Amino acid sequence: MTFSCKGICDALEIESVSTALRYESGHKRCTMCSVFVKTSKLGCPCCGARLRTKSRNKRSRKKNIP
């Protein structure tokens, strides 16, 4: 499946919200458009790609290189 940005996200993008609070306040990340949008749907209203709702936990990489 191919998703294409239609440019709608430009108007949906949310500003003045810190990255940490974006997910908590219901904002979702579209990896295709690279924007945060606020919607109750699972898909991006712009391109239709599935939105990311939670931030990834940072995995601390242990360097085991001798």
Q: Give the binding site for Zn ion (CB under 5 A).
A: 5, 9, 30, 32-33, 44, 46-47
At closest approach, how far in Å is the CB of 66 from Zn ion?
44
Q: Which one, 10 or 24, has the nearer CB to Zn ion? A: 10
Burial class (CB in 10 A: 0-12, 13-18, 19+), 50: middle
Q: Which one, 54 or 62, has the nearer CB to Zn ion? A: 54
At closest approach, how far in Å is the CB of 19 from Zn ion?
18
CA distance 24 to 12: 17
Strand, coil or helix: 38: strand
